[in-house]
Structures are given as structure tokens and as C-alpha cells.
Amino acid sequence: MAYLRVAVDVPLPTLFDYRWDGRADAALGRLALVPFGRRQTIGVVLEVASKPAVAPERVKPALRLIEDIPPLSAEILDLLRFCSDYYHHPIGEVVHNALPQGLRAIRSSVRKQAAAFALAEAGEAALADGALRRAPALAALLERIANCQSVYLANLAAAERRHLKVLRDRGYVREWICPEAAREAPQSAVAPPPVLTQEQSAVLRAIAQSASGFRPWLLQGVTGSGKTEVYLRLVDSVLRGRGQVLLLVPEISLTPQLEERVRNRFPGHGIVMLHSGLSNEIRTRNWLAAQSGEAAIVLGTRSAVFVPMPQLQLIVVDEEHDASYKQLDAVRYCARDLAIWRARQRAIPVVLGSATPSLESFYAAQRGRYAVLRLTQRVTSHVHPRITLVPTTGERLIEGFAAALTRAIAERLRNDQQVLVFINRRGYSPVLYCSACTWTAGCPRCSARLVLHTTRPRLVCHHCGHAEAVAITCPQCGGLDLQPIGHGTQRIESALHRVFPQARLLRIDRDTTQGARHWPQMRRAIEDRQVDLLIGTQLLAKGHDFPALSLVCVLNADQSLYSTDFRASEQLFAQLMQVAGRAGRGEVPGDVLIQTAFPAHPLYQAVYAQSYEAFAQTLLSERRAAGFPPFVHQAMLRAESGKMAQTIAFLESAVRLGEGISEGVTIFDPAPAVMARLNGRERAQLLVQSSSRTRLHRFLDQWLTALRANAATSARWVIDVDPLEV
């Protein structure tokens, strides 16, 4: 008799033991159906033990193992355990956060797809004891199925199908799921890959010549310098060696373009997407295709970092600086950091690409932990976009635009070029203001202002989703003069409509893309030149390649300068370089106009000079002097309750619990969160930090155990390791 130690989706930092009378060695890493309280649930077997951790009479039997899904490999179990340890998050939630939701409901969908086959236990035994010695064709096919973990009926010749039938009748193989994507027929003629630039060749040579094994590379390449082409060449060499590649991008909106490039370059290879825009069923199938080895390339967002890939040979993290790699709720992991851990564990290279690497990566490179590769030249136009800072002081803005911007837009439109107006704020205007008494519309549930939307007239809270009718009179003084203050994408859109009535406009923000669902059509429209003027938020700023786009106008960037977050300037710089990089990727050189009240600000000067390195160096010195990351390691205890006093009281008790054990760790005072009220909850936080990561984690282990034991907790709390938001 064995005991299965199962990760169940509950917020408790422990595994749950179940009795198991079946074969114990086959249970590790499997999904298991187990009783839990009054219900049944699906968990993952993380350990198999000969003795239970609790009194044996309290241990219930596991109901069954889910045989349709191959077990998670030891490697993935290690990754999950590491994620749970490092982020100090309950293992059950980590495991379930990492698996596609559909996996738990797999039985129904498995039945529908029965066109693929995998090795059954009897087949394994047959291979081991040579039962098929007399039938070499059967043995060869079985061997093949064993090697690639599964085989698709569609990929078999007629004779092989007959052999397969024999294998199935003998119980050597069993039916297996068929991921659609992997079956897709090869595309028509493949365009030959471009001739590499000298810089690209040098980069690839450096990687090819380095010793095999774990190696983190920081590919620092200006926008349009051909980083993606470098990834494709690396993918190519992995595919030649029959390996698998994991390509991570920060945003769903970036997947269609890369997917197209990857599919066109590698027709006939299994390529699957993994992101939240896919249905549960497709996502599950794609995940299974990666696990079976059938998908050679996985292209995904954050959570794809957990996908099992038995032949994984390379991980690419594109736009590695992007904050979207950090999950901001549930398990607060950073996919970039886990990707590096995973590469080390598998002893394979990992390539981090960015025009503006995160300071963490920049610093790691300086200390020699990452090897740096540089692409300094743009591929196509050979010129960087020209950046102009347009001062707004003393300027009369018309509809939010300085005259220089309107002129430049008119000129590009005349020359049949596309223009992007970038403003990182959706809605019509961020403030509705009473000029008589200075009242502004606020969210009843959050410490935030309501944003005026006009496409469907409403006041909306961008933090909790609260929406209400637009006030006609001031609720405070009854005044009638309510004014929208400031600009959002909708207001800019209507302004541009008035100024350029002939131009075809397209507004791209979360409201128009419906969480990226409409994005593929919109992207087509831009590529097919059905659009002249784009108005977009940061959705549009990242990685896209629109050759006809030659002018980018940036509005309202100044706002970030007022942020209290010490990462704000790093992020603003990255964002401006990103959005500037959208201009002039085709034949026509690009122009970028940034409207600002502070053209002399060091940040704008750095953007103007397009000098990432110098700016990063300055920021790094500032961080060193101030004792900020990456020079210290941080964790944030975030708490919330119905009342601020209660939240703070909880954090104060947490401070007291930490005092005796905090050697080498600084515990700061509790403070209300920047968004002190969210969704009716009052939030505060407590920062702890140390110059030693080991010390910090040792402290967290003890401290969080004490906090969990502290039953009288009246606040909900969560720990955020390496927090990105302050």
C-alpha cells in the first residue's frame, strides 16, 4: 500500500495524503480524483510515500488516477515546487494555476478526439521483454510511438495503420488526444529566410559557438533590429535537432503576428499557442500536444512557462522587460524569472530579448551572470526614428494637440503614410469636474476617479468596473457646469475626426479590442492599409511591425513623471522607446513627436538621445544609492479588510511577529496602498527587504508560518515576492 501526496486546489500550504492500492510508481505526477471534504476534486500527485504524514485512520483512499493524461514529469513537478517555495504560495494553488483549466474536465473532450495513440503499459512491457521480436514492423511502430510519446493516425501510412490496429487490439497502445494545431497541413511555398545582417550573424555565431548547457543570453536589440529573425534562426537549429522551443511573449496581442511568422517559416511542424484568448478545450489540447512532444514550438504568454515539454531545448523570452510577465493576482510569479530557472534546471540556453532590458537583467548582465548580445542597427531602413520633443508650455493646444503635431499628421496623411497617436488612457476623459465647487466624480468602491466614456455614455471605474450614468448636475452643489478634464482615447478620436474628416480612423484600446478578441481583424486592417490614423494605448505600443507607419505622436506621457513608484521612469522610458520603435519600420524614415511640458527632464533627454545604456546606468546608480532593487530583494505583504484601521492593525501585528526573527531583514512600517480603497476593500501593505535573497526567504518562511498560525486574522493577506507595484 502506498500513500499519494496530492496537491489540491485550496489555499493551504500543504499536500493531502490518500491511500492507494494500485501501482505506486505509476502514480507520480498523475492527476488523481480524490475525495475532499464533501466533494470530489482533481489533484496532482506530487509525492508517493510509504507512510502517511497524518494518522493512517484519517487517510481516505484516492478514487482513481486519470490515465488519459500522461503524468507530469519530475522536471515540471520540480518547477511547481520551486514556484511554490520561492513565491511562498500554497502548492495546491500553484499547481492548479499552472495547468490548463480544461485538463480537469478532460474526460469529456478526450472521448471526442480519438485519432491519436500513445504507449500503454502493456506496450511498455512488450518493448522491455522483447515480445515483438518476431514482428519487426510492429516493434518499429511501437518504438516510434514510445519515442515521440504519441502518434497521430493522420500521420501514418496505410500499412502502419494496420499495424496500429494490431497494437491496439493487443492493448499495447491506447487512444490519445489529437491536438488540432499539430495536424495542420503544411502551408504553400515557404518564403526563403532573409540574408542575415552582419550583426545578426555575429549574434547567432556567438550563441552557436558557446558551450552547450545552461546559458542566459540578453539580446539587447533596438526596435526593428531583427531580434525576431534571430529567434527564428535559433528555433530552426533546435528543430533540426528534433528539440522543442518555448517562445514567450508578454501579450496576447503580440501572438498573431509572431504565430504567422513562425508558421510560415516552419510549415509542417507542430506549432501551438497557449494564452488566455483560447477556449479551454483548445488550450488543453495544445498543452497536451506540447507535453506529448508533438508540438515542437509553443508560443505563449506568461502561464506557458509551466507547460511540459519533454524535448525542450530553448526558451525565448521576448520583450523581457515587460511587466506583464509578472502575474498580479493569485500566484504572483514572474514568468521571465521562472523561464530562467527552468532553463538552468534543464541545462539549456534561454534568450531574453528587449530594446530596453529591465534593470534587473541589465544589472545581471553587468555582473556577468547573463551574456550580452547587441543589435544596434535597424534592419530595413538603416535609420532610427527621429525623435522630437514638442514643448507644450506657452503653446495653445487645440483639441489637446500642439500645432507641430497637427501639421506633421497632416503631412504624413497627405503622403499616404500611417500615423499612430499614442495615449495611454482609454475612455473620453479621466475626470468629470464641477467648475463651481471642484467636485469630481469618484468611484463609490475605490479611491479612484470615474472615467467618462462617451461611445456608450457612462462613468466607469477602471479599477473595479463600477459604472453609472453620467451626472448632469453636480451632486454636491447642484451646479450645471460639469466639465470633462483631460484626454483619453475616445476624446482624441473625436478630436481627430473633426480635424481630419477624410482620414480613416481606428481606435485600439481595451474597449474596442474586447480584450484582444477583435485584435486580429484590426491588425489585418492596418496591414492592408484600410486605416490612416491609429489611436492607441499601450496595446499598440509593443512589438508590432507595421511598415507603412511612419509617424508616432505621443500625448500625455508627462503623467507618469508624477508617479510615486520608483519603477515609473524605467517603465516610461521603455514604453516611449517601444512606441517610438513602431515608426519607420518600412521604407520611409520614422518620426516621433513627444508632447511634453518638461522637455529638459533627464528622462526625455535620454529618450531623445535614444541612449538606453546611459539611462539604465543612471537609473542603476540611483537605485544603488537609494537601496532599491536590484540591489536589495523585496517582498510585500498586502492586506485588505473592510476598514483601513483593521487592515493596518493586522499589518502592525505582522510587524511584531517579524521582530524577533528579522536578522538581516528590514521591516518597514505599514502604509496604505496607493489605491487605498479598491472594490470596497481597504488596502494597506508592508514592505520587507534584505540585501541577501537567502536571508529574506528564510525570514519569509518563518514569518509566514507564524502569520498563518495567527488564527485571529481579521484581514485577508497575500505575500508578493519581487513585487512590481509599490
Q: Show the cell assigned to 87.
A: 513565491
Which amino acid, 56? P
Nearer CB in complex with ligand ADP: 145/254: 254
Nearer CB in complex with Zn ion: 426/542: 426
Residues that bind Zn ion (CB under 5 A): 434, 436-437, 439, 443, 445-446, 461, 463-464, 466, 474, 476-477, 479
Of 656, 559, 638, residue with least CA distance to 603? 559
Task: Provide Rg for the chain, Cα atoms.
Answer: 28
Q: Using CB distances below 5 to 8 A depending on partner kind, what does residue 276 bind out of Zn ion, ligand ADP, none? A: none
Residues that bind ligand ADP (CB under 6 A): 194-197, 200, 221, 223-229, 379-380, 545
| Distance separating alpha carbons of residues 525 and 639, to the nearest angstrom | 45
Nearer CB in complex with ligand ADP: 89/585: 585
Nearer CB in complex with ligand ADP: 232/343: 232
Q: Beta strands 633-641 and 716-721: pairing type?
A: antiparallel
Helices (H), 315-414: 335-346, 359-366, 403-414
Minimum distance, C-beta of residue 581 to ligand ADP, in the bound complex (Å): 7
Minimum distance, C-beta of residue 48 to Zn ion, in the bound complex (Å): 47
Query: 10 Å Cβ neighbour count for 630?
Result: 18
Q: Beta strands 60-61 and 666-667: pairing type?
A: unpaired
Minimum distance, C-beta of residue 383 to ligand ADP, in the bound complex (Å): 13
Of 50, 16, 49, residue with least CA distance to 33? 16
Nearer CB in complex with ligand ADP: 200/689: 200
Q: Using CB distances below 5 to 8 A depending on partner kind, what does residue 194 bind out of Zn ion, ligand ADP, none? A: ligand ADP
Minimum distance, C-beta of residue 195 to ligand ADP, in the bound complex (Å): 6
C-beta separation of 118 from 70 below 8 A: yes
Minimum distance, C-beta of residue 382 to ligand ADP, in the bound complex (Å): 11
Interaxial angle between packed helices 612-626 and 602-609, expressed in degrees from 0 to 180 and rounded to the nearest 10: 150
Minimum distance, C-beta of residue 681 to Zn ion, in the bound complex (Å): 11
Nearer CB in complex with ligand ADP: 226/630: 226
Nearer CB in complex with ligand ADP: 413/576: 576
- 689 phi, psi to nearest 5 deg: -150, 160
| Distance separating alpha carbons of residues 494 and 352, to the nearest angstrom | 40
Q: Using CB distances below 5 to 8 A depending on partner kind, what does residue 227 bind out of ligand ADP, Zn ion, none? A: ligand ADP
Nearer CB in complex with Zn ion: 451/616: 451
Minimum distance, C-beta of residue 386 to Zn ion, in the bound complex (Å): 41
Q: If DSSP states are collapsed to H, E and C, what string results for 463-520?
A: CCCCEECCCCCCCCCCCCCEEEECCCHHHHHHHHHHHCCCCCEEEECHHHHCCCCCHH
Minimum distance, C-beta of residue 356 to Zn ion, in the bound complex (Å): 32
Q: Using CB distances below 5 to 8 A depending on partner kind, what does residue 571 bind out of Zn ion, ligand ADP, none? A: none
Nearer CB in complex with ligand ADP: 178/247: 247
Nearer CB in complex with Zn ion: 464/531: 464
Nearer CB in complex with ligand ADP: 126/271: 271
| Distance separating alpha carbons of residues 495 and 422, to the nearest angstrom | 14
Nearer CB in complex with Zn ion: 474/496: 474
Minimum distance, C-beta of residue 534 to ligand ADP, in the bound complex (Å): 18
| Distance separating alpha carbons of residues 274 and 102, to the nearest angstrom | 13
Minimum distance, C-beta of residue 230 to ligand ADP, in the bound complex (Å): 7
- 551-582 burial, b at 16+ Cβ within 10 Å, e below that, comes to bbbbbbbbebeeeeeebbbbbbbbbbbbbbbb
Any idea what DSSP says for residue 31? E
Nearer CB in complex with ligand ADP: 281/318: 318
Instruction: Report DSSP letters for 518-578, one per residue.
Output: THHHHHHHHHTT--SEEEE-GGGTSS---TTEEEEEE--GGGGGG---TTHHHHHHHHHHH
* Residue matched to cell numbers 544609492: 625
Q: Show the cell assigned to 653.
A: 501585528
Nearer CB in complex with Zn ion: 74/480: 480
Minimum distance, C-beta of residue 723 to Zn ion, in the bound complex (Å): 22
Nearer CB in complex with ligand ADP: 425/542: 542
Minimum distance, C-beta of residue 201 to ligand ADP, in the bound complex (Å): 9
Minimum distance, C-beta of residue 619 to ligand ADP, in the bound complex (Å): 23
Q: Using CB distances below 5 to 8 A depending on partner kind, what does residue 150 bind out of ligand ADP, Zn ion, none? A: none
Q: Using CB distances below 5 to 8 A depending on partner kind, what does residue 187 bind out of Zn ion, ligand ADP, none? A: none
| Distance separating alpha carbons of residues 475 and 550, to the nearest angstrom | 46
Instruction: Report DSSP letters for 222-235, one per residue.
Output: -TTSSHHHHHHHHH
Q: Using CB distances below 5 to 8 A depending on partner kind, what does residue 545 bind out of ligand ADP, Zn ion, none? A: ligand ADP
Minimum distance, C-beta of residue 263 to ligand ADP, in the bound complex (Å): 14
C-beta separation of 6 from 44 below 8 A: yes
Q: CA torsion, points 503, 508, 514, 516, in degrees to nearest 10? A: 120
| Distance separating alpha carbons of residues 8 and 676, to the nearest angstrom | 33
Minimum distance, C-beta of residue 694 to ligand ADP, in the bound complex (Å): 37
Minimum distance, C-beta of residue 380 to ligand ADP, in the bound complex (Å): 5
Element at 285 (helix H, strand E): helix 280-292
* Residue matched to cell numbers 480544461: 102
Nearer CB in complex with ligand ADP: 97/381: 381
Minimum distance, C-beta of residue 265 to ligand ADP, in the bound complex (Å): 10
Q: Using CB distances below 5 to 8 A depending on partner kind, what does residue 379 bind out of Zn ion, ligand ADP, none? A: ligand ADP
Q: Using CB distances below 5 to 8 A depending on partner kind, what does residue 464 bind out of ligand ADP, Zn ion, none? A: Zn ion
C-beta separation of 423 from 487 below 8 A: yes
Of 384, 225, 381, 403, residue with least CA distance to 318? 225
Q: Show the cell assigned to 84.
A: 511554490
DSSP three-state, residue 449:
strand
Degrees, nearest 5: CA angle 229-231-235: 115
Sequence-distant (6+) residues with CB within 8 A of 40 are 33, 34, 63
DSSP three-state, residue 711:
coil
| Distance separating alpha carbons of residues 562 and 704, to the nearest angstrom | 34
Nearer CB in complex with ligand ADP: 266/703: 266
Q: Show the cell assigned to 162.
A: 494496420
